[in-house]
Amino acid sequence: MGDNPAAGSVPFGGGHLDGPLATKRNRVAAAGVLLAVLLFWFAALYGIGSPFYYGHYGYHGGSYATWARGTVRHHTLLPVNEPGFAPPRPGTYYIHHPILTHQLVTLTFAVFGEHEWSVRLAALIPSFASLLLVAAIAWRKIGPLAGAVAALVFAIVPVNVWYSVNIDQGFPSIACLLAFFWFYLRWLETARWSLAAAALAFGALAGGFEWSPYFAFPAIFVHVVWTAAHRRGRYLLFGLLYPLVAVVPLAGHVVVVWKSGMMSDLLGAYHNRAVAVGYRPFLRDMQAYGDTLFGRVLVVAMFVWLIATLARVVMRRGRPVDLVGLTFAFALIAYVHVFKSAVLTHAYRQLYGNVWAALAVADLAARCGRMATWLATRRNSRQRGAGAPWPRAGHIGSAVAIVVGAGILIVTAPIAWAGLKESRAHGGIPGWKTFNPDLRQTAFARQVNVATRPGDVLYIHPTFANPPPSRMDWAFYYDRDLRRGVPLRMLNALSPIERSRAVVIFVPANLSADERQAYAELTKQHAVLMVADLAMLDLRSTRVETRAFALAPIAPAANDGRNALVRWIQGPYPWPRLVPDPARQAAEEERVKATRTAARLAAARPAIPPARTRGPIAGIAPSKVVAPAPTGAIVDQKAKLKPNKLRRRRQGKQQTR
């Protein structure tokens, strides 16, 4: 695989094609790549304009948006995991992963503004680049039609349909690794240092995005060492430089974590993701993921190609282009075995299977085509004699290859379509039977964002469950300095300046008795905004009012006034529409009024005098304790004690009897 750099550079279907036939083949291949591009963007645009809601999509969108804002506001490359404008406190960085990915969101925010679709566009940039690079590598090293098949598989492989729009570390690292291979394969052909430098740069950059490239490093390093040992010269020096691809980004991340004082946090995250999982349930869950994210036919094709390619490598018949698919296969298999718990929780960690699948199908189709060409040529030679040309053999080979590729695509397409609908409906979480996007939280968070301004402080009451960073989909909308776990009774301690910037969010129905009373007192001076059962108390305003809104039911698609394109872009969950809710407003006002009335009655009720003390006082026996006499009264002490003496005499007589 290291000694024949040009091996594998043959046309799709076998047999060299020249003249009009080659031109026709290239046009068909270009049309296939164009179709793949259209399919990719068709799937990517579904739901790209929807709000952030519960699930992987919302959590990642809010997280990366928060980190990008932190870069702009605090001039730091580190991901600041706390919304707002206040300088980040120690320990608020999210450095469980390499730290470059959120800079893509920083870029799209700078160009397009802070929108949900800007975050998703940042995810689609490396996803689309990966598609083009896969197609280019297959086109150049296997054949033009192979490039088209690879592009089509990459566009509709279900795992990409699920997660190409999800901002994450996976696709940026995939794009960088593919760029590395693009330059590395050309370096093997030409030995030009400019290509080697570009390959090393993209290889190191991949490690700045995600951990999977470090699992890819051993497979590539074996090939680099093999090539250096057999070719010497410049390739030997490249082999000495290649370890820097892993050492430099890894050392940089360790230094960043160490300087941030979060090494224990990083180690804890590692142990959490690498927790032991039983192998049998792990394989069962991975099979379910394989059916959902790839499809059983595609998985079989991937492993058939893997076994066949490994056999060719052992027999020293491998090609440099085989290294691409083998590397992604090795990285995925190694990753899922080291981080079993992480993969079962985060299905998008299986993204490295997309390149493996695309190149496997393209190569299998090409080999089937070459075998068909060989068989057709051999049969023709028997009929017409050895050496007799038969131009139709190339046509037969290409047709067989296209049929093989198209067959796998046709079987995979329904799984991809179902995955497209399920992924947007379930927030990127596979396998859930029911799902609640919790759009009331999203609508409420945006109303709070609209009602507040930068510099305001958002006090989160204990009744408000799972505030950011637990639910980072809300962090995109709140984007204010947060104070968590603050009871209402503590708000009176705020200074006038603090009150002028204070807003409280809570759930009125879950308030305790004393907190309900504090709430009733605060509403005498401040406004309340409610969305469903969630409330915002505005301490900045002295206007006394209560406004309540409800989420309007989602109208049927035929009656909502949106055209087909808008419905596709907004996906299954368009922005919820708020309508006034006078019933909830009246009920809340009555509840507050009842609380105030109860407080007034409690204050007006006469105090109950304390009960007479029965215990010992200053050494006097309990029976001798006498209630204090009114001022000026004359007390006959014997009269007070006489009943007690008579009682003791009677008790003594009863005992003698």
pLDDT tens for each residue of 506-515: 999 999 999 9
What confidence tens digit (pLDDT) does each residue in 247-281 have? 999 999 999 999 999 999 999 999 888 888 898 99
CA distance 53 to 443: 10
Neighbours of 351 (CB within 10 A): 28
Instruction: Write down the pLDDT at residue 367.
Output: 93
What confidence tens digit (pLDDT) does each residue in 377-427 have? 777 666 655 555 556 777 788 888 899 999 999 999 999 999 999 999 999
What confidence tens digit (pLDDT) does each residue in 462-519 have? 999 888 888 899 899 999 999 999 999 999 899 999 999 999 999 999 999 999 999 9
pLDDT band at 630 (very low <50, low <70, confident <90, very high): very low
Q: In DSSP terms, which residues pair with 551 in a beta bridge?
A: 578
Instruction: Write down the pLDDT at residue 347.
Output: 95
Residue 628 reports pLDDT greater than 60: no
Instruction: Write down the pLDDT at residue 449.
Output: 94
CA distances from 273 to 60, 92, 212, 277, 343 (A): 17, 20, 14, 10, 8
What confidence tens digit (pLDDT) does each residue in 196-224 have? 999 999 999 999 999 999 999 999 999 99
Give me the percent of the chain exceeding a pLDDT of 70: 86
| 205: enclosing H helix or E strand | helix 193-207
pLDDT band at 562 (very low <50, low <70, confident <90, very high): confident
Residue 89 reports pLDDT greater than 80: yes
* Domain residue ranges in the chain: 19-164+261-425, 439-604
Per mean pLDDT, which range of 2-11, 281-290, 390-399, 591-600 is the poorest?
2-11
Question: What would the mean pLDDT of 99-117 be, rounded to a whole number?
Answer: 97
Let me know: does 643 contact 626? Beta carbons within 8 Å: no
Nearest to 548 by CA among 576, 517, 579: 579
Instruction: Write down the pLDDT at residue 653.
Output: 47
**605: exposed, middle or buried (Cβ count in 10 Å: 0-12, 13-18, 19+):** exposed
CA distance 536 to 458: 10
Let me know: does 47 contact 572? Beta carbons within 8 Å: yes
Total residues belonging to the chain? 657
- The pTM of this model reads 0.87
Question: What would the mean pLDDT of 153-178 be, rounded to a whole number?
Answer: 97
Indicate the average pLDDT of the chain: 88
What confidence tens digit (pLDDT) does each residue in 320-374 have? 999 999 999 999 999 999 999 999 999 999 999 999 999 999 999 999 988 888 8
Residue 240 reports pLDDT greater than 50: yes
β-strands 578-580, 534-538: how paired?
A: unpaired
Residue 452 reports pLDDT greater than 60: yes
Give me the percent of the chain exceeding a pLDDT of 90: 72
Q: For the chain, how far is it from start to end, CA to CA, in angstroms?
A: 119
What confidence tens digit (pLDDT) does each residue in 437-449 have? 999 999 999 999 9
CA distance 641 to 619: 18
Instruction: Write down the pLDDT at residue 394.
Output: 72
